[in-house]
Amino acid sequence: MGISLFDLTGKIALVTGSTHGLGMAMAKGLGRAGATIIVNGNSSQPKIDDAVLEFKKEGIQAFGYKFNVADESEVIAAIAKMESEVGTIDILINNAGIIKRIPLIEMEVSEFKEVIDIDLVSPFIVSKHVAKGMIARQEGKIINICSMMSELGRNSVGAYAAAKGGLKMLTKNMATEWGKHNVQVNGIGPGYFATEQTAPIRIDGHPFNDFIINRTPAAKWGNPDDLSGAAIFLSSKASDFVNGHILYVDGGILATIGKPSNEI
């Protein structure tokens, strides 16, 4: 009985920005739990095709679609195509996002808007059009990938923090409006993870690496697979009465003020 609560067999999951990194890790977790995966990216079709192949090598049924999550007309067309060719979308993970590390005083308005469009407006666009089908079927799961920056500020990531803070509240409002239709909308807030992007700063002696190790109660970077359990939980029947919640997977960072630099 307990295991069946987390079984995603027969479910179709769209994970945006899932050709690599944390998006791929979460998608693989859902696939291993039985879901069919729809891979999304916007950089190149070959990159999407390579990602689909990687899923299939693990025995996960996967399909790939290239579209810009911030372009509503592309999203509408893609959803119609996916539902025609693969099936109705039971699970949506809004993972696609960007970050621009520019101090606010130096940031162009166009750069600020670009981050907001991709990190905040696109989850609204994709969710809105996927949720229509979920509401009609009276069932669905939506997961918005938030951030510790949904709660905290940090130098040079003001636009990203503004978007992720907004995404936290958008998640709660989606849950408020769609909960009566048996659609659960929750968020996952990842901490600092060991990915290709963070590899250059995950070196012993690098100031930021030392900061993360000392700042995190778990005293380590997260493994991308650590997000799989949270994604499966929020995609499965196990979370049917969980709505509007942000699950932080951060090794405990948000639980503590940190420790003095001289603490052993």
Active site residues: 160
In this structure, the strands spanning 36-41 and 140-145 are: unpaired
Q: What's the burial of 43, exposed, middle or buried (CB within 10 Å: 0-12/13-18/19+)?
A: exposed
> What is the DSSP annotation of 181-240?
GTEEEEEEEE--B--TTTGGG-STT-HHHHHHHHHSTT-SPBPGGGGHHHHHHHHSGGGT
Q: What's the burial of 97, exposed, middle or buried (CB within 10 Å: 0-12/13-18/19+)?
A: buried
Residues 6+ apart with CB under 8 A from 52: 39, 62, 63, 64
If you ran DSSP here, which 8-state letter would residue 4 be given? Answer: G
The Cα–Cα gap between 186 and 102 comes to 29
* Residue 49: both structure tokens together: 């095709």
The Cα–Cα gap between 235 and 249 comes to 16
